Structure 1
Amino acid sequence: MGIFEIIGPIMIGPSSSHTAGAVRIGKYARRIYGVSKLFDLVEIDLFNSFSESGVGHGTDLAILSGILCFNVDDERILNAFGIAKEMGINYKFNFMGINEELPENTAKITFYNNREPFYIFGESIGGGLIRIFNINGYNVNLFGRHPVLIVIAKDVPGIVAHVSKVIADTGINIAKAEIERDSSIGESLSVFKLDADFPKDRLPLIFENKNIKEAITVERLEEL
Structure 2
Amino acid sequence: PASLEHLRVAQGPTDDSAAQSDWASKKLVWVPQENVGFAAASIISEDRDDCVVRLQGSGRKLTVPKDVIQKMNPPKFEKVEDMANLTYLNEASVLYNLKSRYYSGLIYTYSGLFCVVINPYKRLPIYREEIVEWYKGKKRHERPPHIFAIADTAYRNMILDRKDQSILCTGESGAGKTENTKRVIQYLASVATSTKNQKTTPSNIISKLNSNEVNIVSFPSLP
TM-score past 0.5 threshold: no
Give the TM-score taking structure 2 as reference length: 0.26
More helix by share: 2
Q: Which has the higher contact order (CA 8 A, sep 6+)?
A: 1
Give TM-score scaled by structure 1 length: 0.26
